Amino acid sequence: MTVHKKSSLLDRAFRNLRGVWGKIARTYEDFSEVDLSPDLSGGDRARLIGQMRACLEARGGEVSARSRAAALGQAYLALNDTGHKVFLCVLAEEFDVDHTRVDRAVAGLQEAASKSERELAETELKSALQAPRVTLLTQFNALPEGVKFLVDLRAELISLLGDVPELKGLESDLKTLLTSWFDVGFLDLRQITWNAPAQLLEKLIAYEAVHEIQSWDDLKNRLASDRRCFAFFHPRMPDEPLIFVWVALVRGMADNVQVLLDARAPQEDAEAADTAVFYSISNAQTGLRGIPIGSFLIKRVVDRLTGELNGLKTFATLSPVPGFRAWLDKILTEEGAEQIDAEKGVGRSKAAGVDYPLAAIRRLLARPNWFEDDKASDPLRGPLLRLCARYLIEERRAQGTTLDSVAHFHLRNGARLERLNWLADRSERGITQSAGIMINYVYELDKIDAFHEAYTGRGEVTTSREVDNLLKA
Amino acid sequence: MTVHKKSSLLDRAFRNLRGVWGKIARTYEDFSEVDLSPDLSGGDRARLIGQMRACLEARGGEVSARSRAAALGQAYLALNDTGHKVFLCVLAEEFDVDHTRVDRAVAGLQEAASKSERELAETELKSALQAPRVTLLTQFNALPEGVKFLVDLRAELISLLGDVPELKGLESDLKTLLTSWFDVGFLDLRQITWNAPAQLLEKLIAYEAVHEIQSWDDLKNRLASDRRCFAFFHPRMPDEPLIFVWVALVRGMADNVQVLLDARAPQEDAEAADTAVFYSISNAQTGLRGIPIGSFLIKRVVDRLTGELNGLKTFATLSPVPGFRAWLDKILTEEGAEQIDAEKGVGRSKAAGVDYPLAAIRRLLARPNWFEDDKASDPLRGPLLRLCARYLIEERRAQGTTLDSVAHFHLRNGARLERLNWLADRSERGITQSAGIMINYVYELDKIDAFHEAYTGRGEVTTSREVDNLLKA
Amino acid sequence: MTVHKKSSLLDRAFRNLRGVWGKIARTYEDFSEVDLSPDLSGGDRARLIGQMRACLEARGGEVSARSRAAALGQAYLALNDTGHKVFLCVLAEEFDVDHTRVDRAVAGLQEAASKSERELAETELKSALQAPRVTLLTQFNALPEGVKFLVDLRAELISLLGDVPELKGLESDLKTLLTSWFDVGFLDLRQITWNAPAQLLEKLIAYEAVHEIQSWDDLKNRLASDRRCFAFFHPRMPDEPLIFVWVALVRGMADNVQVLLDARAPQEDAEAADTAVFYSISNAQTGLRGIPIGSFLIKRVVDRLTGELNGLKTFATLSPVPGFRAWLDKILTEEGAEQIDAEKGVGRSKAAGVDYPLAAIRRLLARPNWFEDDKASDPLRGPLLRLCARYLIEERRAQGTTLDSVAHFHLRNGARLERLNWLADRSERGITQSAGIMINYVYELDKIDAFHEAYTGRGEVTTSREVDNLLKA
Amino acid sequence: MTVHKKSSLLDRAFRNLRGVWGKIARTYEDFSEVDLSPDLSGGDRARLIGQMRACLEARGGEVSARSRAAALGQAYLALNDTGHKVFLCVLAEEFDVDHTRVDRAVAGLQEAASKSERELAETELKSALQAPRVTLLTQFNALPEGVKFLVDLRAELISLLGDVPELKGLESDLKTLLTSWFDVGFLDLRQITWNAPAQLLEKLIAYEAVHEIQSWDDLKNRLASDRRCFAFFHPRMPDEPLIFVWVALVRGMADNVQVLLDARAPQEDAEAADTAVFYSISNAQTGLRGIPIGSFLIKRVVDRLTGELNGLKTFATLSPVPGFRAWLDKILTEEGAEQIDAEKGVGRSKAAGVDYPLAAIRRLLARPNWFEDDKASDPLRGPLLRLCARYLIEERRAQGTTLDSVAHFHLRNGARLERLNWLADRSERGITQSAGIMINYVYELDKIDAFHEAYTGRGEVTTSREVDNLLKA
């Protein structure tokens, strides 16, 4: 199942540009569609700079400048990978902040004698610190699907940053622009049902990042009457979900995702459900990375469901622990693991009445399909749950946030770490990343603020007594 | 006919807030709805500052901060005029740029030793130059009609600037924010017909700024099959036109606005029209002043009409000369007017075969209802048209732009000054402001860029031969 | 305020026909648009019959027949009044039931020997009793706004029946067709707000039959937040209300329509209302006369409002007594009125403590503007209310239904006659028709069936004790 | 892939009934939902009759009657197969035409002395011939999805007719009702794209009757940019296609359906297509059998495509010959087949230069997968195409229509038999039914009427010269 984004976007861009800009666009079509070689070789780099400058100076007026910027955007879509890199580097380097102007403005600021002179100098300094490329980026909004173009552009920049670090400033400018345009106040929360366009549903299949959707039947099952899917949309990208969440309406907090997704299970009565389980959240747009809309999504959905279904008392996730197995392997294989073990108090199995030193864990985990073998998985259950609790709560990054990214996301949102579920995800990914463990984080609306403050302010992870006991064991 | 904007907005705000923010909002309702006195007297100013600070620090998380900002926005709507002023001054003064931080950042910049240090220092300086109030303004977007709220807020700021100049910085920050959010790429061009909601049509009646709409019958007449109305809309203000333009589809360039608006005139066949006359453009939102969308409107409408009606060959305006009569009166009443006359070559009536010195003009214009009296208006025709041509073309502001604001708007857009029409607007406003003269500016799509460049670059006004002759006469 | 229905319909018909029928339609355009004279004089009647026959025989296939029927419909719209009459008479006479075929079928029926022969004979007889014109009427549905065309056609037939009684059969066939197509199951109940298209609202102004709408401001007032307007629509006439009702949400049962419609009165809080007052119902389409949708309207609106506003306890009308004054005048002016008085017990004023014989009533009512003169209206109050109660309850038509049409409508619907309100409508119509009296009929959902049965089955009018007392007084 | 129609309809019915009928419905819920046993055993048949009678008599008023009819409809959905049969038989037998009343009316007719008496008598007779059950059927329209209910009811009746012939009259009454309600003037032609709701697309997969849709990918391929799908919809069944047609936009008339449906084939440019090939038409609603909307569909689509794509010159089908193989087998296996052969001139292979008597055809067709074996299929090509041409053109039913139902459909619509394509459908169905042959029928808009008349009037099949030659060969 593939969604051919780039090429279809290009198609539509070429087709629609006339529609939007009409005659004005036609004037500029020649130079953009004809002139540039796919890799911007030869004199094309210089020609491109010239065209960008013309846009910036708004020669012929702002309307024409927009139209030409749109033509440049089109031209970009027709370039190959090399061309893309050249284009972006031109934006990054030739239209960067003018440092001389900044220095002049700083001097002006320091000479300011009065309050009003100071204000003028600050304004000039602020303006000098704004790279001219921001104007160009803004002008690309004139493309028929300009917002999507810019989001995709940032996705491309992010993927290039490793190789071409000098694009960082451009990427950062684009992030600032998109942060303003994707302010949560502009986003629409929409429920997605089996009545949604196939074109949109197909994207859910393509973008689902946590529990792969196997088929259209699987998708239909996830949209049954006891399930919900919600997504944020931007008014200028009406057919593109930005981020989406899947919810199961159940009785009691779900503890196994395969059971939840079983197509043969009978549908429950949503009206009778007491728990909404958020079992997957996927960002659909790489180009919006770092722009915080996920936390709004969960809470808006909680509010929506509360209004719709009176029976719902608990709002919980069923989440993976994506970093657990990697961390565990590091622990298990580090030189002197047993010592580390001793220091950290990990595997104090005696206290739990069993004796499983790390070596034994290592051995059991090495068995093929250990999770399907009771003789391996039963003894692992206790130690791994305790290790996982420790991983989630005690392992922190330098700045004090939890090492596990999913845990960090929910704790930062004000959730409570409620329960660890053993062998709750037996999919390949579930085993490989989370050793099959899944977590219920619980959202209690009237405690979200307090928990958020506890975590972000004092670094405290709020847990249930059950999880506490795991830690103490 | 009145549109009660403020109160209905308030009503809806109170009603809808729960809908959008649900339980989260309810948590904060008390303090905002109950606590603040309408004029923010007593300790309320300090309390307000505290609440704003809580929003800025995003205590309890970003979602809660948004919700509280929305509650603050609500509170604002419930204040009286004094309260508004206090609220805005708090924003302007207490959440202004931190100058100490700016100075520290400047020092950091000057000490930067490497390129990467320099970049970090510039980033910090840019951040320091951003006033914290911008975050608060952005958070108000969480209000149910947050965008409209901010647009109205800026309208209020603009009206207060004269009295309270210290609001300038706040107003400027808000303008920057709105400029980003009202980028033309986000706006929808929509045709407005008699099939539009009465709620929207009512706003056209209220906002029409050039030729007052007398009644619903008058409005219906302006929406007849040989007329068009187009407006820009923002996706988050779907019921509020931002700017709208009225078009008459006629044969030959219209030369009289009363004839154009006569409800008893038979409807023409739009398919047979060769000319589209833009006879009125009104900005509907004071809060968007200075954000350039007008030039896009005309050209987008030209494109739309071109696609729809093949017969259209000419796109022209029928525009007032709003500054003419004031300028003329100044000329006529200045000491030594006759000398000025001589120097400027104004009233070289002999060349035109008649002899009407300024004194005669003064005398004729002083007659009551001179425009309905052939004996006064006939002799005035030649001299006034020549004076008006001179006013439009030669009278400039310091920076070289034309003195007349309407002329400046169209010339800057790339239009040509085509024709002056005598007694083309006999309404009270038409006589008082423009001495009854109206102008046809013509938009020729393939010359717009050149004319724009001529005017903005070299200060040249492009005119038809007919207008040239007036000037030479 | 006028709604030019016929001509605009014609315009649209001509414009849209190509859209719907495309090339097929074009083939037939010539003969229909060109050939027929406006009054169908000369050989045009015969030509018309020929064309109709071609449609009936579906020459060239059903699709072509439809297209030609549509062209005939167009041709009809282009005829003048004489032409219309000729066209309709052709339909009525030339395409009537074939009586010979009926007789033959009757003979067949009587000869039928077996059950299955009998069934076949009945089928043939039924088919023979169906006039061929019904097929033609159905084919007119192919017109772009075919349903509206047929509704308007019936309106025209109704208006012609007096002069041309031979159209009765055609009108009756059309009624049968429309009864099937306007089955209440097909109708949409829609709330109409100030956000509705002006084009639709304009029709409310034109069609309002009870309390004239004075202006757009008056209309807006009737659509305020404490008011409601609901209408039935047909999916093929989406812009045409079929019947609409106005509701005021108030505290306590309204007793005066001028007070209710006063634009200066403050808006009430709809949430706080305990009573919904249906103060006007208008049929918008004469062509649907006799097709019972009104009773569904009231009950569907009651259900809708019940679901929306929990506070509503009472659903009542504020209705005119349109036949009262005419009946009263007849009573008052009949020869021997005083005797009738005595016999009927009317005006037994002594029982009420005052003595006003019919002569006095006559005299008082003769005073100019008696209703604004306390000296006239105070003494009239008692006697007229009692006479009115008597009129409503005791005066019946031959078949036992009440003489007053409005009373009959609501009683048949299962309402209770609750209260008579003195000087509740001082408009010219109110005084002239109802002597200023208005009635509250109350709808109690769980008693509607019983009251309906009482009235339709046993001829009983259910009344409140208050009204009973009036009768007994 | 299954579409669970009945149960979901039931669900929705139960859920929505309150929405539509509110309190009124609630009054009647008990008796319908509780009382009746699933198979209507015991006294339930009598109780049902009683309830139906109450509806017919409109006890409690028409609104209540509707509500009760809706409850009856609901009850029906909850019955089992036996219950359905009992329910329908009750409708058929207990609410049939009252023959005594008919006889009385006939007597009245025969006694009628005047024209007006005759008219009254005819009206009464017509009314007497209308079975009361029609009123009940109409009242079922009050169900939330009443129209779909009735369409499904007729589908069920059709399936029962073989076993229960006494349902014929009821089925016929329902057909008459649906014919009026599904008049083509009420139907919407809508294009279905990949942007349509999955819920709708899923139905295309389920309902496709000619070339099975294998998967969602296959479906997407059939909705690519060089393909079109159109369907008729009824305004009261907005999510249910009534009949749909698939179109391929190609260059040259397609001659092979597998090639057409090949997902790996590159997409063509629709703008460059000169031919629209209608390669499948499916009726989606058994309950609408015999109600002629198919012929309208093709011509409306032709018109739509003509307006959209200027390049289209030819409109043709690629159709199966579903009855060919069965007919052929009969020919081949009849006693004395060779004689028949000789008489009919079939297999005059010498003229074609080869000698293949029927026996040889029989032998070749008996080979497994003969169509993939050149040694079998090559020799069969000539004889089978000639036999097929003969089958299509010369084999007629008693009433003169062609034996092949698909041929009859298109010829009746005015199409021309253009070309026979050898091994054009190698699917199992294609081989089994049509011996792999597919036909192009061509629609020429300006000849449709003439060809229709030729076929329906004079029984003439219009063919291309190429087909003629096959026949003559």
Contact: D142, C306; criterion CB under 8 Å: no
In chain C, residues with a C-beta closer than 8 Å to the C-beta of B199 are: 194-195
**Mean per-residue pLDDT of chain D:** 87
Whether C1 is covered by a domain: the verdict is no
- Would you state the pLDDT for residue C37? 87
Residue B385 corresponds to which amino acid? L
How far is A243 from A221, CA to CA, in rounded Å?
20
Residue B364 in domain: yes
User: Do D61 and C449 count as a contact with CB atoms less than 8 A apart?
Assistant: yes
Contact C85, D110 (CB under 8 A): no
Specify whether D342 is located in the same domain as D439: yes
| Single-letter amino acid code for the residue at A61 | G
Q: Which residues of chain B have pLDDT under 50?
A: 1-34, 340, 345-355
Residue A1 lies in a domain: no
Amino acid residing at A238? P
Residue A292 has phi, psi (to 5 degrees) of -80, 100
| C-alpha neighbours within 13 Å on the C-beta side of residue C61 | 26
DSSP A206-235: HH--SS---SHHHHHHHTSTTEEEEEEEBT
Closest CA to C24 of C78, C76, C69: C69
Whole-number Cα distances in Å, D106 to A211, B191, C114, C255, D111: 74, 63, 18, 55, 9
Distance CA B128, CA B113 (A): 20
D184 touches chain C (CB under 8 A): yes
pLDDT at B432: 95
Residue C119 lies in a domain: no
Reported as type and span, the H/E element at residue C453 is helix C448-458
* Closest CA–CA distance from residue A59 to any residue of chain B (Å): 7
More confident of the two residues A335 and B274 = B274
- Residue C7 or A143, more confident: A143
Which of B356, B352, B402, B399 shows the shortest CA–CA distance to B376? B356
Note whether A181 contacts B181, CB cutoff 8 Å: yes
Q: What is the Cα–Cα distance from B140 to B331, expressed in whole angstroms?
A: 50
Task: Say how many Å lie between the first and final Cα of chain D, rounded.
Answer: 46
Residues 6+ apart with CB under 8 A from D260: D248, D250, D254, D277, D279, D318
Residue closest to B62 by CA, chosen among C131, A169, A409: A409
B309 and B355 belong to one structural domain: no
Of the residues A32, A67, A410, A434, only one is catalytic, namely A410
Domain CATH code at residue D367: 3.40.630.150
Question: Is the model's pLDDT at D452 over the cut of 60?
Answer: yes
- CB contacts under 8 A, B 146-165 vs C, are none
CA-angle at C45, arms to C44 and C46, nearest 5°: 90
D409, D270: one domain: no
Exposure of B262 by Cβ count < 10 A (0-12 exposed, 13-18 middle, 19+ buried)?
exposed
DSSP state at residue A317: E
Instruction: Identify the H or E element spanning C314.
Output: strand C314-317
Q: Are residues A313 and A340 in the same domain?
A: no
| H-helix or E-strand spanning residue C246 | strand C243-250
Over residues C226-233, the mean pLDDT reads 97
Q: Are residues A195 and D196, on separate chains, in Cβ contact within 8 Å? A: no
Q: B220 at the C interface (CB within 8 A)?
A: yes
* D307: CATH: 3.40.630.180
Amino acid at A59: R
Residue that terminates a domain, selected from B257, B291, B317: B317
pLDDT tens for D405-449 read: 999 999 999 999 999 999 999 999 999 999 999 999 999 988 888
Coil, strand or helix: which one is D441?
strand
With an 8 Å Cβ cutoff, is C184 touching chain D? Answer: yes
Mutate to test the interface with C, among D124, D125, D297 (most CBs of C within 10 A): D125
Residue in chain C lying closest to D173 (CA) = C123
Please state, in angstroms and rounded to a whole number, the distance separating the CA atoms of residues B202 and B204. Answer: 5
> Could you tell me where the DSSP H helices lie in B182-293?
198-207, 216-222, 257-261
CA nearest to D85, candidates D142, D45, D47: D45
**Six-digit token string for C233:** 């629509």
pLDDT at B14: 41
Q: What is the pLDDT of residue D352?
A: 35
* Predicted pLDDT of residue A61: 84
B389 and B262, same structural domain?
A: no
- The DSSP element (H or E) to which B229 belongs, if any, is strand B227-233
Residue A267 is assigned to a structural domain of this protein: yes
- Are residue C306 and residue C344 in the same domain, yes or no? no
Q: For residue range B183-219, list pLDDT tens digits in order.
A: 999 999 999 999 999 999 999 999 999 999 999 999 9
- Is the pLDDT confidence value at D32 over 60? no
Annotation marks residue A41 as catalytic: no
In sequence order, what DSSP letters do the residues of A399-448 get, joined into one string? TS-BSSHHHHHHHHTT-EEEEEETT---SHHHHHHHTT-EEEEEE-GGGH
Residue with tokens 């390049």: D311
CA–CA distance, B244 with B196 (Å, rounded to integer): 14
- Write out the two tokens for B333: 């009443």
Judgement on whether residues D396 and D453 belong to the same structural domain of the protein: yes
Q: pLDDT band at residue A342, thresholds of 50, 70 and 90?
A: low
Task: Give the rounded distance of the alpha carbon of C193 from its chain centre.
Answer: 22
Catalytic residue, from A64, A319, A349, A434: name it.
Answer: A319
**B8 vs D466, more confident:** D466
Q: Would you state the pLDDT for residue D99?
A: 93
Per-residue confidence band for D356, with pLDDT thresholds at 50, 70 and 90 = low
CB burial of C114-142 (b: ≥16 within 10 Å; e: otherwise) equals eeeebbebbebbbebbebbbbbbbbbbbb
Check the CA dihedral D299-D301-D302-D308 and report its sign: positive
Residues of A numbered 103-142 whose beta carbons fall under 8 angstroms of chain B's beta carbons: which are they?
106, 109-110, 118-119, 122-123, 125-126, 129-130, 138, 141-142
Q: What is the pLDDT of residue D36?
A: 82
Residue B201 lies in a domain: yes
Whether B84 contacts B156, CB under 8 Å: yes
The answer on A264 and A232 residing in a single domain is yes
The mean per-residue pLDDT over the stretch C431-443 comes to: 96
Surface-to-core class of residue A465, CB atoms within 10 Å of its CB (0-12 exposed, 13-18 middle, 19+ buried): exposed
Q: What average pLDDT does the structure give for chain A?
A: 87
Say whether B126 and A126 touch across the interface (CB within 8 A).
yes
Most confident of A189-203, B111-125, D71-85: A189-203
Low-confidence winner among A193-207, C187-201, D42-56 (lowest mean pLDDT): D42-56
**Chains C and A touch each other (3 or more Cβ pairs < 8 A):** no
- Say whether pLDDT at C354 is over 50: no
For C147, counting Cβ atoms within 10 Å of its Cβ (0-12 exposed, 13-18 middle, 19+ buried), the class is buried
- For residues C111-140, give the mean pLDDT: 94
Residue B108 lies in a domain: no
Query: What's the CATH number where A75 sits?
Result: 1.20.140.90
Q: B181, B198, B220: which is the final residue of a domain?
A: B181
**Best-predicted range by mean pLDDT among C19-23, C43-47, C445-449, D25-29?**
C43-47
| Phi, then psi, of B436 in degrees rounded to 5 | 80, -5
CA distance linking residue A212 with residue A195, whole number of Å: 21
**Res. D60 pLDDT band, cuts 50 70 90:** confident
Distance CA C335, CA C339 (A): 9
User: Which DSSP category does B368 fall into?
Assistant: T
> Judging by beta carbons within 10 Å of its beta carbon (0-12, 13-18, 19+), is residue C457 exposed, middle or buried?
exposed
Q: Which of D1, D197, D202 comes nearest A196 by C-beta?
A: D197
Q: Which of D84, D408, D410, D434 is catalytic?
A: D410
Cα–Cα distances in angstroms (integers) from residue A55 to residues A66, A78, C87, D52, in the given order: 7, 19, 67, 77
- pLDDT of C284-309, one tens digit each? 999 999 998 888 999 999 999 999 99
By Cβ distance, the residue of D196, D217, D239 closest to A197 is: D196
Are the Cβ atoms of C61 and D413 closer than 8 angstroms?
yes
Dihedral angle of Cα D255, D258, D259, D262, to the nearest 10 degrees: 160
Whether residue A425 contacts residue A434, with contact meaning beta carbons closer than 8 Å, is answered with yes
Domain termination site, one of D317, D339, D367: D317
Q: Which residues pair with D280 in a beta bridge?
A: D246
Q: Judge if B15 and B157 occupy the same domain.
A: yes
pLDDT at C388: 95
Q: How far apart are CA D251 and CA C357, in angstroms?
A: 95
Residues C18 and C146 in one domain: yes
Q: Any CB–CB contact under 8 A between A220 and chain D?
A: yes
Element (H, E) at C283: strand C275-283
Contacts of D201 (CB under 8 A, 6+ apart): A198, D192, D194, D216, D219
Judgement on whether residues D303 and D360 belong to the same structural domain of the protein: no
Question: Is residue C291 located within the same domain as residue C152?
Answer: no
* Domain hosting residue D62, numbered range: 6-96+131-181
CB pairs under 8 A between A and B: 157
CA-CA distance, A385 to A420, in Å (whole number)?
Answer: 7
Flag whether B117 is in a domain.
no
Q: Per the structure, how many domains does chain C have?
A: 3
Summarised one tens digit per residue, pLDDT across range A267-305 is 888 999 999 999 999 999 999 999 988 889 999 999 999
Residue with the bigger pLDDT between B355 and C65: it is C65
Q: Tell me if residue B4 is catalytic.
A: no
